[in-house]
């Protein structure tokens, strides 16, 4: 893939915003917090919001006509739901208006070498999301995996037909690193995108992640990142 060299000088605010999935996943968020998050997403024109399943209908209403996609999570945050439950979650989210789906793999099964089960779990969600041509972003939770497990997980994501391989939920001891983003990018073909999440709170870290190969960045610090970019540009 072409090497990236985005800097605060070369990337536009609009380009930067389209890398961001604005995260609204903290369990304590109120309805007013979610509405404020949607306002932030609209203000900056981000790629999507990634919200809790219960908030999908609200976010769909708040973001109607804005071009900001509504996404949600599946099997979140531990990945240990049954496949049938993950499929049901996906179908309900579709009915509620979600069009992107950040699912967590069966982490323990990957670490146990039970790759067929991991593959089939992902593929079932991909198949469900295909009803609306929805993008499935598969979370490996890299904090718990060895290098070899990360590579194997990424390959299973591609084999199962998902659109993205993603680093983290935001609920593990650590999140995205430049090294992990580069590793995942190298482990899959160009048709699979990479999403970095957890701990991306500054413009400089954001730029590091997209230069390492991230096509999307999950962030709660959207305003801080993009306001810093605007300030550096003097606009």
Query: pLDDT tens digits for 119-151?
Result: 999 999 999 999 999 999 999 999 999 999 999
Read off the pLDDT of each residue in 5-34 and give the average, rounded to a whole number: 98
Q: Name the pTM for this structure.
A: 0.97
- For the cut 80, the answer to whether the pLDDT of residue 232 exceeds it is yes
pLDDT band at 4 (very low <50, low <70, confident <90, very high): confident
Task: Name the phi and psi angles at 111, rounded to 5.
Answer: -70, -20
pLDDT band at 3 (very low <50, low <70, confident <90, very high): confident
Which position has the token pair 């979650």?
A: 89
Bridge partners of 197, per DSSP, are 218
Reading the block at residue 233, the tokens are 């540009």
Considering the candidates 166, 180, 193, 215, report the single residue annotated as catalytic: 166
Q: For the chain, give the secondary structure using H, E and C.
A: CCCCCCCCCCCCHHHHHCCEEEEECCCCCCHHHHHHHHHHHHHHCCCEEEECHHHHHHHHHHHCCCCCEEEEEECCCCCCCCHHHHHHHHHHHHHHCCCEEEEECCHHHHHCCCHHHHHHHHHHHHHHHHHHCCEEEEECCHHHCCHHHHHHHHHHHHHCCCCEEECCCCCCCCCCCHHHHHHHHHHCCCCCEEEEECCCCCHHHHHHHHHHCCCEEEECCHHHHHHHHHHHHCC
- For the cut 70, the answer to whether the pLDDT of residue 193 exceeds it is yes
Reading the block at residue 1, the tokens are 């893939």
Bridge partners of 138, per DSSP, are 103, 165
Query: pLDDT tens digits for 53-102?
Result: 999 999 999 999 999 999 999 999 999 999 999 999 999 999 999 999 99
Known catalytic residue at 102: yes
pLDDT reported for residue 45: 98
Reading the block at residue 151, the tokens are 């590579």
Reading the block at residue 172, the tokens are 């593990």
Considering the candidates 21, 180, 195, 215, report the single residue annotated as catalytic: 195
pLDDT band at 229 (very low <50, low <70, confident <90, very high): very high
Q: 152-163 in b/e burial notation, b at 16+ Cβ within 10 A?
A: bbbbbbbebbbb
Say how far apart CA 41 and CA 38 lie, in whole Å.
Answer: 5
The CATH number, out of the four listed (3.90.226.10, 3.40.220.10, 3.20.20.70, 1.20.210.10), of the domain defined by the range 18-233:
3.20.20.70
Known catalytic residue at 166: yes
Considering the candidates 21, 55, 102, 121, report the single residue annotated as catalytic: 102
């Amino acid at each position: 893939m072409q090497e990236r060299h985005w800097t605060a000088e070369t990337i536009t605010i609009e380009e930067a915003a389209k890398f961001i999935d604005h995260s609204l996943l903290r369990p304590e968020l109120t309805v007013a917090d979610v509405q404020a998050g949607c306002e932030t997403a609209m203000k900056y024109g981000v790629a999507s919001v990634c919200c809790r399943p219960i908030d999908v209908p609200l976010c769909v209403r708040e973001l109607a006509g804005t071009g900001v996609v509504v996404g949600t999570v599946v099997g979140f945050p531990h990945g240990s739901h049954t496949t049938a439950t993950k499929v049901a979650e996906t179908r309900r989210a579709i009915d509620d208006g979600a069009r992107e789906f950040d699912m967590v793999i069966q982490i323990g099964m990957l670490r146990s070498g039970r790759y067929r089960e991991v593959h089939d779990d992902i593929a079932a969600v991909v198949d469900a999301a295909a009803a609306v041509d929805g993008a499935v972003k598969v979370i490996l939770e890299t904090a718990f995996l060895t290098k070899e497990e990360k590579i194997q997980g990424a390959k299973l994501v591609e084999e199962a037909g998902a659109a993205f391989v993603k680093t983290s939920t935001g609920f593990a001891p650590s999140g995205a690193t430049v090294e992990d983003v580069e590793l995942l990018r190298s482990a899959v073909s160009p048709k699979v995108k990479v999403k970095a999440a957890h701990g991306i709170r500054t413009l400089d870290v954001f730029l590091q992640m997209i230069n390492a190969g991230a096509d999307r960045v999950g962030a709660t610090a959207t305003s801080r990142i993009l306001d810093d970019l605007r300030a550096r540009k003097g606009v």
